[in-house]
Amino acid sequence: MEQTDRMDCREGRDIRAGKKRFSKNAALENASWESGVRKVTPYTPGEQPRRAGIIKLNTNECPYPPSPQVKRLAAEFETDILRLYPDPEASLLVKSIAEHFGVGEDQVFVGVGSDDVLAMAFLTFFNTDKPILFPDITYSFYDVWAQLFGIPYSRPALDEDFRLVKEDYLVPNGGIVIANPNAPTGICEPMTVIEEIIAKNPGSIVIIDEAYVDFGGMSAIPLVEKYDNLLVVQTFSKSRAMAGMRIGFAVGSPKAIRYLRDVKFSFNSYTMDAPTIAWGAASMADDAYFRETVEKVAGTREYLKKELSSLGFSFPDSRTNFVFASHEKVPAEEIFLALKEAGIYVRYFPGERTGNHLRITVGTKEQTDALLAFLRNYLK
């Protein structure tokens, strides 16, 4: 009896194990590897047309070349710069940025474009169940990173003039991201508003994305000495005319920068290549050229605003190298397509609140005149 029981038991176990094995196999056969894929809707970058002879005013690049110091270094290019691994700390570049802003080298983090810096910052600092906050109309990569990293987020609406509603950022949150000046609106919020949001959120990292600040905005970098929850992100892609090199950086408290570096070095040590490090440092050191370039762009922007107004366009007051304009009569999409047909590329963002605007990058005076000449004729 005892024997039989044991047998039954054993058999039972065997049968159950066999069944389990069978159902496991069935589950294996029915499973699709796709159910385990991290699915995301990727960011759609602006078009990079290869057509010759076009006027490219669609991705906010600088119409002027980078500092002549970059060209000089490029001419002295030695192949060892490619043969050897680059400095993982990008020390030369970090030092030039720290010197420029009068902060410690331990307060600077560099990355492959500010997209890389922002993505690292999302991954590092936004790690709670509380939603992070950024406006409904802003740089559309923020949603993508939040989705990619599984970060809950909420997008308080800008008001009807596309201004930030400060109170929306004085609620419990897992972090805050504000582009200042904002994109695609071009609006710069006063530093008093930015500081209040940082000061009243000591429990969250506040990222201020200053991709366009050099064209007339005000930087929050001086506030990093006062608030260790502030991270200011800038780029070489716009005012330093080096979008093709991919350099971005963050300035923050030594503690915040340490956390960012820990995540970055857990991911890939050698993200920034050696020519980029050397040429970026040369660009940062050439302040006179930098100032001359941004002044030229800002001057053309003011001219563009004046002429667009006289053609029946209205727009928020841009402090950037682009204007977010809508026409009193003609739908934005129609103008966008007509411009494209004529080889003039601007950016159009379909959507309920943005769909009647064109984001026009400030080009050279000649490019701007060509754009205006087309519009004058088209809108007649």
Residues that bind ligand PMP (CB under 6 A): 113-115, 139, 179, 183, 209, 211, 235, 237, 243, 248
Q: Smaller CB distance to ligand PMP: residue 113 or 280?
A: 113
Contacts of 224 (CB under 8 A, 6+ apart): 103, 107, 230, 231, 232, 251, 252, 253
Cβ-closest residue to ligand PMP? 113
Q: Which backbone phi and psi does 260 adopt, to 5 degrees?
A: -65, -45
Minimum Å gap between C-beta 260 and ligand PMP is 16
Output the smallest distance, CB 130 to ligand PMP, in A: 23
Q: Report, in Å, the least distance between residue 356 CB and ligand PMP.
A: 20
Question: What are the residue ranges of helices labelled H in 102-171?
Answer: 113-125, 141-148
Structure tokens at 106: 């331990």
175 vs 248 by CB, closer to ligand PMP: 248
* Residue 131 vs residues 44, 145, 269: alpha-carbon distances, Å: 23, 13, 30
Q: Tell me the closest approach of the beta carbon of residue 78 to ligand PMP, in angstroms.
A: 27
CB closer to ligand PMP out of 81 and 243? 243
Q: By C-alpha distance, which of 26, 297, 246, 277 is closest to 119?
A: 246
CB of 194 to ligand PMP, least distance (A): 15
Q: State the DSSP H helix or E strand holding residue 348, giving kind and residue range, or none if neither.
A: strand 347-348
Residue 22 or 267: the one with the smaller Cβ distance to ligand PMP is 267
- Looking at residue 326, what DSSP letter applies? E
Tokens encoding 281: 């440092």
Nearer to ligand PMP, 62 or 375 (CB): 62
